[in-house]
Amino acid sequence: MITDQLIVVEPGRIEVEKKDIDESIEPWEVLVETEYSIISAGTEGAGFTGLVKEMPFGDGGQYPRGTGYGNLGRVLKVGAQVVDVQLGDRVLSFSGHSTIVKADARRMVMPVAEDAPGEKLVFTRMAGVSISALRSSSVQPGDAVLVVGGGLVGNFAAQLFGLAGADVMLADLSDLRLQQAAACGIGRTVNSGRDDLVAAVMEWTGGGVRVGVEAIGISEVIAQVVECTARYGETILLGSPRAHAMFDVTPMLLRIHLEAIRMIGALEWRWPQHATERSRDLDANYRQIAEWIAAGRLVVDPLLTHIASPADCQAMYDGLTSNKEEFLGVVFDWSKL
């Protein structure tokens, strides 16, 4: 079987390549024909630009490399050990950008609604990252929450905190992304490139937010979020810091120490894949997100800026990494290839 897949050939260059794959699958796999896949501007962007080479862990930036981890498609074949998935199901999986994928059901192959638009449902993958910030916090209704970063992960995090009853402010450098946030129901926004973020937060809260979320992955911004966090509050690292940074961290650490601030890592993989008696799990997180998107409780429309053919992958990745005023949510429609 021939499949078309996206390959980052070298930093800054991506293309569609044909690959011959065996139709046989392992007992834990599901063969899926892709309908839509979504680009993760953060993780995939690091692989596309070469930023991954700076990370202190991982593969050190090996090229060529596959890319993508948000895939929505139709089941063609089901492995013998896979339960809860049937032939013909529409499923979300943590698979890459490819016409045909062998999805690993040990990680995620989740049936989704048949009657919801696929180009919206595939956003479940990104919002599934965002929910880790909410789940990791001790937020209560009425608490003040700051989310810094208006990309997909930050926007969905702000929406989710709002659904939990928090009073939310979202900060970003892009006026367009702030407008998109407002269209998603996030009523309080600030352009942190034009306005003093700390001053704006203090004017709003009188002493800082109960929960501050850094949703970008920039070390200096983490320090700024700590400065915005109230005594006994929580600073949550939702974005993954990747680039090297050189600055004096002592003021940040001293504030954490003196104000008894908790700094919490919120990578989605902190949760077990499947349900246990004592913790939440990834499966439940993603089921909840998919239900809310299908029901319209999590807003997607203002975030979907491009539905593209995979043949236009170079322009899409270029746009996401260098033109944030026009590119935000990019979905590949594999029927257009």
pLDDT in tens, the chain (337 residues): 899 999 999 999 999 999 999 999 999 999 999 999 999 999 999 999 999 887 776 677 789 999 999 999 999 999 999 999 999 999 999 999 999 999 999 999 999 999 999 999 999 999 999 999 999 999 999 999 999 999 999 999 999 999 999 999 999 999 999 999 999 999 999 999 999 999 999 999 999 999 999 999 999 999 999 999 999 999 999 999 988 899 999 999 999 999 999 999 999 888 777 777 666 888 889 999 999 999 999 999 999 999 999 999 999 999 999 998 999 999 999 999 9
Whether residues 105 and 225 share a domain: the answer is no
Cβ atoms of residues 100 and 31 within 8 Å? yes
The pTM (predicted TM-score) of the whole model is 0.94
Whether residues 48 and 86 share a domain: the answer is yes
User: Could you tell me if residue 295 is inside a domain?
Assistant: no
Cβ atoms of residues 105 and 29 within 8 Å? yes
| Amino acid, res. 267 | L
- Pairwise CA distance, residues 165 & 7, whole Å: 42
Whether residues 134 and 264 share a domain: the answer is yes
User: Could you tell me if residue 189 is inside a domain?
Assistant: yes
Whether residues 38 and 146 share a domain: the answer is no
Cβ atoms of residues 30 and 24 within 8 Å? no
Whether residues 49 and 134 share a domain: the answer is no
CB atoms closer than 10 angstroms to residue 2: 9
What integer pLDDT is reported at residue 270 of this predicted model?
Answer: 80
- CATH code of residue 78: 3.90.180.10
What is the helix (H) or strand (E) element at residue 131, kind and residue range? helix 124-136
- Pairwise CA distance, residues 112 & 128, whole Å: 14
Q: What is the CA radius of gyration of the chain?
A: 20
Whether residues 141 and 258 share a domain: the answer is yes
When divided into structural domains, the chain yields a total of 2
User: Could you tell me if residue 32 is inside a domain?
Assistant: yes
Whether residues 117 and 134 share a domain: the answer is no
Residue 240, C-beta contacts closer than 8 angstroms, at least 6 positions apart: 42, 43, 217, 267
Whether residues 179 and 64 share a domain: the answer is no
Q: What is the DSSP letter of 274?
A: S
User: Could you tell me if residue 275 is inside a domain?
Assistant: no
User: Could you tell me if residue 331 is inside a domain?
Assistant: yes
Cβ atoms of residues 286 and 108 within 8 Å? yes
Domain residues for the domain of 15 are 2-123+300-336
